[in-house]
Amino acid sequence: MAKIQDVARCAGVGLGTVSRVLNNEKGVSEETRANVLKAIEMLNYKRNSLGVSLRKNKNMIVALLVPIIDHPFFSKLAYFIEDELDKNGYSVIVSSSQSRQSKEYAMIEKLKRKDVDGIIFVTHYDYKDEELSKFPVVSIDRHFDDVPFVTSDNFDSSVKACEWLVGKGCEKIAYIGGKTLVESEVMERERAYRTVMEKHGLPVIVKSEVIKHGEEGPLVEALFEENDGLDGVFASGDAMTNMIISHCEKNNINIPEDLKVVSYDGVEMKTGELKNKIAFIAQPIEQLARESVKVLLGKINNEKVALRTQIAASFLKYED
């Protein structure tokens, strides 16, 4: 494999000159440039990134850490994040934490070892004492000390959703959602729900627990067991909604006649025949992705970045 030395010798110039041509720098005479280019061609020379990385202390790689890539929300996120990073010359390492914090720590370690230049995070864990804010790290939806984060407008869109349920005549509306261990933007959904219920003097029925992916079923069952005659439910996430759908099918509850449902997310809903019968709040995934990249690159380039970047979510109701 030819190296820069070989090119220099072949073109009869110095190392620096070859490097300048390689990097399209000014200040090289056309003649010299042509010679170098010819030598590069002749030797089929390819610049070795490992040398560049060491020299520049940067390898143009960013990590994306999600709970699991095989999930519509996260794979969409990954798609747009890669696209945005690619436009900026970066590659993305994708890692599924599988909700194991050890895997997340491993990635932080990689960051410190310069395996990656930065991390975009979707985590359920807390990172108070990791000095994470000293490194190029951006969090999506969750919020730690001084780590910049990007989030959709959970509160406002949830208020709209709950007001819609009330407007539809629901009088016994429940909120159901998984709880996160850390202070999270997701909690805004529950807060919005409570605000709206109180405003209208309606009962507050909250089913919210710390659960893992896949454990939504029992929570839904418990909700319906403990509360007869629900006529509306605001579900924080599609997994939950899918379980609600299953429950209703089994128990002959008609959606939306008997029970009106609003789902946060709407990307992985097993709608099928229920399409247009469940309202939802769409996460602005593409914007979340692109904004998180912009913030991260800002951090990497030592620019000042906003601690919080908020993007509006849209509430989509079905036709009727």
Partner DNA sequence: CTGAAAGCGCTTACAG
Query: 93 burial class (0-12, 13-18, 19+ CB within 10 angstroms)?
Result: middle
Query: Which residue number, 59 or 246, has a Cβ lying nearer to DNA?
Result: 59
Nearer of residues 49 and 276 to its own copies, judged by Cβ: 49
Least distance in Å: CB of 192 to its own copies? 29
> Beta-strand (E) ranges in 38-153?
61-66, 91-96, 118-121, 137-140, 149-152
Q: Which residues pair with 279 in a beta bridge?
A: 262
From CA 47, how far away is CA 51, in angstroms rounded?
9
Which CB, 30 or 228, lies closer to DNA? 30
Q: Which of 115, 145, 198, 226 binds its own copies (CB under 8 A)?
A: 115
Tell me which amino acid residue 11 is.
A
Question: Which helix H or strand E contains 308, and what residues bound it?
Answer: strand 308-311
Site for its own copies in 249-288 (CB under 8 A): 270-273
Q: Are strands 314-316 and 279-282 parallel, antiparallel or unpaired?
A: antiparallel
Q: Which is nearer to its own copies, 34 or 54 (CB)?
A: 54
Least CB distance to DNA at residue 103 (A): 23
Which helix (H) or strand (E) segment is 217 a member of? helix 216-226
Task: Please report how close the Cβ of residue 37 comes to DNA at its closest, in angstroms.
Answer: 12
Binding residue (CB under 8 A) for its own copies from 92, 235, 293, 295: 92
CA distance 62 to 132: 15
- Shortest spacing between CB 9 and its own copies, in angstroms: 21
Residue 31 interface partner, choices its own copies, DNA, none, CB cut-off 5-8 Å depending on type: DNA
Q: Sign of dihedral through CA atoms 206, 211, 216, 221? A: negative
Name the segment binding its own copies (CB under 8 A); options: 15-23, 107-115, 184-192, 302-310. Answer: 107-115
Nearer to its own copies, 95 or 152 (CB): 95
Q: Which residues bind DNA (CB under 7 A)?
A: 1, 3-5, 12-20, 22-23, 26-29, 31-33, 46-48, 50-52, 54-57
Unique residue bearing structure tokens 């143009």: 60
101 binds its own copies (CB under 8 A): no
Residue closest to 171 by CA, chosen among 88, 227, 112, 252: 227
CA-to-CA separations, 184 to 140, 151, 257, in angstroms, rounded: 10, 10, 33
Contacts with its own copies in 59-78 (CB under 8 A)? 59-61, 63, 68-72, 74-76, 78
Residues 43-62 within binding reach of its own copies (CB under 8 A): 46-51, 53-54, 57, 59-61
Cα(197)–Cα(220) distance, integer angstroms: 20
Binding residues for its own copies (CB under 8 A):
46-51, 53-54, 57, 59-61, 63, 68-72, 74-76, 78-79, 82-83, 86, 91-96, 103, 109-110, 112-115, 270-273
